[in-house]
DNA sequence: CAGTGGATGCTCT
DNA sequence: GAGCATCCACTGT
């Protein structure tokens, strides 16, 4: 399975399928251990109601980044999925840091390894992703996506921090990972 | 451990 | 003017 095939299909296959892939930006990053799926028919999604304003990238080609500002302070990054015009994306919620830890620590203000990239806002800060990357293609030389070297076991839970469509269990976490945004809690 | 509240800017009503 | 796809510091067990 290539990255293009994975993200080019349904976001509901791409989201769990991305667990275990390694994301690198200029050689800094790690294993994807937590994501959430969003799509157009989903009241919690920025793409709900069609392409307007900040969400237009979600309706573009798969394999590009959709970056938005969260709570006025943080950046959050998504991988656009599915066919052009469908408004689907996978929110990157946590990485297990594997490469460039010194650089991540510097960008994150010297926090512990556990907090380097375990959370959507932390992850973008650790990798240096900002709105300048909105719409960027996830291709070399800047970005690299490396397939899993072993099969990841994935568990499914409700999404975090939303108030609408809360009954949809579209959050996916690597089973047993201590690098998710809330390890040690329910369905980490 | 759990719970609360502040920071801060963009989108939508 | 309200409401966020968040994080951190602080409080109280």
Q: What region does A96 belong to: left with phi over 0, alpha with psi -120 to 50, or beta?
A: beta
Q: Which residues numbered 109-128 in chain A sit less than 7 A from strand C, measured from CB?
A: 111, 115, 119-123
Q: List chain A pLDDT tens, one digit each, 188 residues.
A: 999 999 999 999 999 999 999 999 999 999 999 999 999 999 999 999 999 999 999 999 999 999 999 999 999 999 999 999 999 999 999 999 999 999 999 999 999 999 999 999 999 999 999 999 999 999 999 999 999 999 999 999 999 999 999 999 999 999 999 999 987 654 44
Three-state helix/strand/coil letters over A143-168: EEEECCCCCCCEEEECCCCCCCCCCC
* CB distance A31 to A22 below 8 Å: yes
Structure tokens at A118: 């375990």
- The answer to whether the beta carbon of residue A71 comes closer than 7 angstroms to any atom of strand B is yes
CA of A151 to C1' of B5 (A): 41
CA of A102 to C1' of C10 (A): 28
Pairwise CA distance, residues A33 & A148, whole Å:
11
């Amino acid at each position: 399975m290539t990255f293009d095939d994975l993200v080019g299909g349904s976001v509901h296959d791409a989201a769990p399928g991305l667990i275990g892939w390694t994301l690198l930006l200029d050689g800094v990053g790690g294993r994807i251990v937590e994501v959430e799926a969003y799509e157009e028919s989903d009241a919690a999604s920025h793409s709900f109601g069609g392409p307007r304003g900040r969400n237009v990238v979600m309706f573009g080609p798969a394999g590009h980044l959709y970056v938005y500002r969260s709570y006025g302070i943080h950046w959050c990054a998504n991988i656009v999925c599915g066919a052009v015009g469908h408004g689907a994306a996978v929110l990157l919620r946590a990485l297990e840091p594997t490469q460039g830890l010194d650089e991540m620590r510097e960008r994150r203000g010297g926090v512990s390894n556990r907090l380097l990239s375990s959370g959507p806002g932390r992850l973008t800060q650790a990798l240096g992703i900002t709105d300048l990357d909105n719409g960027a293609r996830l291709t070399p030389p800047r970005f690299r996506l490396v397939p899993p070297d072993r099969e990841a076991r994935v568990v499914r839970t409700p999404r975090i921090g939303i108030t609408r469509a809360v009954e949809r269990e579209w959050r996916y976490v690597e089973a047993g990972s201590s690098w998710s945004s809330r390890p040690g809690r329910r369905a980490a």
